[in-house]
Structure 1
């Protein structure tokens, strides 16, 4: 399947070294020198969500309300649900990836959109809590764009647990 993917920057040998460093020394001794096995490349889907936030702010000088428009870009990992605000969308390239190499998403898209929308609202409410004169209230928040990109990870199996290393 043809997807937008972040470029692979870490070789398999470097990933193996990193996985060995990630494994604690005591654990390696206790487990009779077990090694990381079955290292392979998989892609995790990330959703890039662009929101438009329209807020109303009371101007402290002439006591009238001004409408403000902001765009917020969020990047959400669909495998574990971690989200973060980003300034720029990562550079991607078009690549063919086998469906078997794509890590299955654990979270539905509509749930991600609503959850991130609530995170933005809560963040802006906490940010404005201490201000009394120029209080900002959110009028409207809507999704402008949803883009899927895929990020490569080297995945190794250590004693039945999967260890992820960004590629």
Structure 2
């Protein structure tokens, strides 16, 4: 019976870690929604534009004719940026600044997810000895990952 009490007699996660982890999980969910959303830019219906909307990874057109394409081809519907449908206009769809945005958001998403895994380990205290021994280092890694995520999303 005393061994059970001794096993559970370890410092619990601080309220700052709990609150920080909660904010990080909420921010991670919002980042995931933004990462997957096809509505980063949307045209107004009143403009009668052939461009409908675009996300980070998807474009939507309706009867769009690319003027520099030698064949008369209309682009219709929503397709992934790297799909076969948009192969001929991929260089036009992906300017260097958009590829940089894709890289930064992908890096932010991966750093945020890794940070969330580390914070979950700290909150659950699993593995116990490792977390208790290296808690300050893990907290520093969390801080660096969250800061890098915030900086890359802001840029």
Pick the TM interval, shorter chain.
under 0.3
Q: Which has the higher helix share?
A: 2
TM-score normalised over the length of structure 2: 0.22
Q: Which has the higher contact order (CA 8 A, sep 6+)?
A: 1
TM-score normalised over the length of structure 1: 0.21
Bigger Cα Rg: 2
